[in-house]
């Protein structure tokens, strides 16, 4: 029941200057058939809860089928948009009603330029079934996968590390940024960093109500030479200055986001490499929240590419959460 969309190899003419370890030219998407916001993740996802409070009265007037169809269409259109940019897209369908967050695959697996596929332990029990052997098998068939590292057994001990949701990885400078939350266990994060040779940058971040940020990738994004972050959400001054210093020392131009912009998913973006250059892919909600000065700074490094995923944002995640970057070398 899996459908895979592959862009023709002939379309890929990305130059060496455009492709970096940080900006993959291929991605994996999961397209849900039975989308609904996940009640098991609303407890610590304040972004999700605020959106649900706003959207559910109107959503309740629609059938569940219409909502699911809209989510299906948004993933399909995201895939088409990326393919038009010359980015390789593999789309896997999920017909199950038991995995409401399957549209966010970057939480359960990641890929790495050295040929590693990594599997992660998930906090919500109903998210653990998102891990799919057919996706891993497809990657092994089409790419050079030399090993699969599986941390998922940590779930039995109440330890979690939700992939590139809970961590924002700088593959070039070998840095791993992470904010403490229920979805990230500090000891497991340290183990990952040791195993993969990343220097950990661990910090605390909260919203205005003091609720910890549940995933690091909702408040920051690190591209090839650009980083977006809401540093004000790092309330401790020493931690905030340390994180900003590490970002700048790694050669990134830093775009500061407000907490209100994070609430509109401006931090939940991802840099990808297409045929004609690098693109910062984000939602139309996020793009509309940017100031002219922020747009100008971003445009100096990559092209903004907004995509409408408003139905899926009702689940508390946006474009970056929907995209699992494929950093693996091709066969």
| C-alpha–C-alpha distance, residues 36 and 48, integer Å | 12
**Measured on CA atoms in the order 13, 14, 17, 20, is the torsion positive or negative?**
negative
How does residue 154 score in pLDDT terms, banded at 50, 70 and 90?
very high
> Could you report the per-residue pLDDT of 61-73, keeping only the tens digit for each?
456 778 889 999 9
Say if residue 308's pLDDT is above 70. Answer: yes
Among residues 263, 262, 294, which one has the least CA distance to residue 280?
Answer: 294
**Measured on CA atoms in the order 317, 318, 322, 323, is the torsion positive or negative?**
negative
Per-residue pLDDT, 11: 30
Record the tokens describing residue 211, joined without a space: 């609720």
Record the tokens describing residue 293, joined without a space: 């000065």
Residue ranges of the domains in the chain? 9-326
Share of the chain above pLDDT 90, in %: 81
| Mean pLDDT of the residues in the chain | 89
Among residues 23, 19, 16, 17, which one has the least CA distance to residue 223?
Answer: 23
- Average of pLDDT values for 120-136? 96
- Average of pLDDT values for 97-122? 95
Say if residue 102's pLDDT is above 90. Answer: yes
Among residues 285, 281, 280, which one has the least CA distance to residue 264?
Answer: 285
Topology at the third CATH level for domain 9-326: 3.75.10
- Point out which residues pair with 273 in neighbouring strands: 278
| C-alpha–C-alpha distance, residues 195 and 134, integer Å | 25
| C-alpha–C-alpha distance, residues 182 and 153, integer Å | 17
Record the tokens describing residue 296, joined without a space: 């100008």
Per-residue pLDDT, 9: 29
Per-residue pLDDT, 66: 85
The lowest-confidence range among 11-20, 122-131, 208-217, 221-230 is 11-20
- Average of pLDDT values for 201-215? 96
Say if residue 81's pLDDT is above 60. Answer: yes
Predicted TM-score (pTM) of the model is 0.88
């Amino acid at each position: 029941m899996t459908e895979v969309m592959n862009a023709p190899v002939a379309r890929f003419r990305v130059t060496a200057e455009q492709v970096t370890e940080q900006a993959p030219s291929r991605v994996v998407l999961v397209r849900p058939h039975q989308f609904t916001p996940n009640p098991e993740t609303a407890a610590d996802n304040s972004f999700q809860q605020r959106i649900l409070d706003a959207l559910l009265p109107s959503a309740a007037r629609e059938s569940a089928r219409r909502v699911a169809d809209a989510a299906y269409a948004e993933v399909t259109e995201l895939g088409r948009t990326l393919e038009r940019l010359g980015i390789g897209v593999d789309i896997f369908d999920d017909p199950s009603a038991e995995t409401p967050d399957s549209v966010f695959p970057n939480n359960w697996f990641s890929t790495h330029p050295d040929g590693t596929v990594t599997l992660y332990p998930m906090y919500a029990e109903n998210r653990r079934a998102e891990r799919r052997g057919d996706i891993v098998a497809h990657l092994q068939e089409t790419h050079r996968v030399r090993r699969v590292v599986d941390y998922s057994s940590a779930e039995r001990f109440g330890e979690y590390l939700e992939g590139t949701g809970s961590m924002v990885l700088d593959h070039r400078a070998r840095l791993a940024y992470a904010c403490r939350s229920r979805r990230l266990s500090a000891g497991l994060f340290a183990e990952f960093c040791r195993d993969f040779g990343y220097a950990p940058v661990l910090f605390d971040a909260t919203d205005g109500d003091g609720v910890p940020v549940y995933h690091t990738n909702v408040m920051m994004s690190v591209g090839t030479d650009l980083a977006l972050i809401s540093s004000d959400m790092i309330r401790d001054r020493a931690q905030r200055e340390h994180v900003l210093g590490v970002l700048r020392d790694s050669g990134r131009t830093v775009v500061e986001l407000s907490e209100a912009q994070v609430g509109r998913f401006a931090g939940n973006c991802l840099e990808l490499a297409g045929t004609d250059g690098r693109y910062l892919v984000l939602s139309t909600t996020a793009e509309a929240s940017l100031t002219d000065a922020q747009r100008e700074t971003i445009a100096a490094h990559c092209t903004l590419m907004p995509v409408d995923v408003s139905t899926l944002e009702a689940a508390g995640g946006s474009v970056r959460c929907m995209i699992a970057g494929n950093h693996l070398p091709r066969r």
